[in-house]
Amino acid sequence: MTDVLLIWPPHVPSYFNAGHHSPLYMVAGHLRLQPSTGRVESCEAGTLSMNWKGVGDLLYQGRYDVIAVMNDFDAVDGLERFTEYARGLSPHSRLITFGRLSSLNPGFFRQFDLDAVVQSGDYECGVAAYVNALAQSGPENALLAGLPGVAVRHGDGWIEPVGHGARLDPEQWVLPDIDEIPYQDYDRFYAKDEHKFCGIPFRRELVVPAARGCPVGCEFCEVPEIFGLRERRMPVDAVIDYIRDSYDRHPFEYVAFYAPTFTLDRRWVRELCERFIEGPVSPRWKCATTIHHLGEELVALMGRAGCVRISVGLETLEAEGQGGLPRSKRTEVRRFRALAEWCDAAGIELNAFIIVGLPGTSTEGTARTLELARSVGARVRPTMYTPFHEMTADMTTHQVARFNRQLISGEPEVKPEEGQEEGRASDTTPPRPEADARYAFLFGREDHLTSVHERIPQRTAR
């Protein structure tokens, strides 16, 4: 039997969305169903709750056969250090990585001391294929033929994947075990709304991964490439059962539906809303979708069913910037105003995602978009335009780390001049008015804070 540790290495997150962390627990749950696995444990050390000594203790004492390391756009900073700890303290362990970044830029991970990289398909399938192959007939014989969606190190080279990685039907997903998740750390991240993280402050969130894949096809979004253009969605009954069970076991106060375009299947949403209205499961909840996939009647129904926040990809209201967006994402001001009115009438907070630096846009136009969104009562969450398609395998960790939706990717690294101290600007440092203007949208003072938590009743004290 193969003992497995799934871990998110220590790092300082540039952004926090609990939904992005749910794959760690879903992969763990999937592995527990495999006949080849024995002990399967998870460790989320990326929530500022664990130091390297604690990680070292875990690696040294755990004696894991396989360590599956979750990666993301801003979690690469500690990867090299983690592999050094793993190789030093648990030298017999095989190291495999999976996550959003390795699915978009798999070649980048070949510079690290890893044994395998999941680069396509669902994460569960890739990690399970590697673990099962190790257990079947010995590492060499089982892996030399190649695995679907997984690159495997062999000597000084790599065995390329045999075809695309597999994808699971929604009925096969294993939803996160809430007993494993460090909710107290999630609460700490969400407490400061000025950081514009996705959660609601002062209330505990249950993430429900309801769908994967999206046909909208925004070029700045990773979802279609990783999970496909065809949406896969959980049955309503399974969603209701998971919420009921989780609320019975833990004092959650609202549900966050983790789905790229929540209202893509309107019939499904109507059924869910009707079930919430009927009860007995009637949580407050939030979701993310597109403006195109909303209507006045649907928004009203969602409000009656307990929805307290709808997040939409507004991106920009500049005509010059909308040319590069899918047709369904091109939004007129009057349509956005109408949506704001629908949400207000339904008692729902409207949250607008806005992209700073989107090709064709200007800082003045971005300021107008932000101002208009706030003028109709919307909460805004700006992020930096991030062209994931420009990442290459030969990039350094420093370069890849800039693709985190906060920093301007592709900016040249500023190196100190001769005689200049590291990290200190010289009198000859060229001005950066465009970059500074963009960063002001993300990192300037934020005075427009949410009050949506007031619409969510508190449950038993934690």
Of 327, 320, 307, 386, the closest CA to residue 353 belongs to 386
User: What does the alpha-carbon distance between residue 4 and residue 37 come to, in Å, rounded to a whole number?
Assistant: 7
- Element housing 258 (H / E): strand 254-258
Strand order from edge to edge, sheet including 2-8: 37-44, 2-8, 66-71, 94-99, 116-118, 150-154, 157-159
Q: Angle at Cα 187 formed by Cα 182 and Cα 403, nearest 5°? A: 85
Q: Structural domains in the chain?
A: 2-159 (3.40.50), 191-390+443-455 (3.20.20.70)
The DSSP string of 77-94 is TTHHHHHHHHHHH-TT-E
Torsion over CA: 289, 290, 291, 295 (sign): negative
Instruction: List 206's β-bridge partners, or say none.
Output: 255
Q: Which residue has the tokens 């089982």?
A: 142
Q: Tens place of pLDDT for every residue, the chain, 462 residues? A: 899 999 999 999 999 999 999 999 999 999 999 999 999 999 999 898 899 999 999 999 999 999 999 999 888 888 999 999 999 999 999 999 999 999 999 999 999 999 999 999 999 999 999 999 998 866 566 788 899 999 999 999 999 999 999 999 999 999 999 999 999 999 999 999 999 999 999 999 999 999 999 999 898 999 999 999 999 999 999 999 999 999 999 999 999 999 999 999 999 999 999 999 999 999 999 999 999 999 999 999 999 999 999 999 999 999 999 998 999 999 999 999 999 999 999 999 999 999 999 999 999 999 999 999 999 999 999 999 999 999 999 999 999 999 999 999 876 555 555 555 555 555 555 668 889 999 999 999 988 999 999 999 998 755
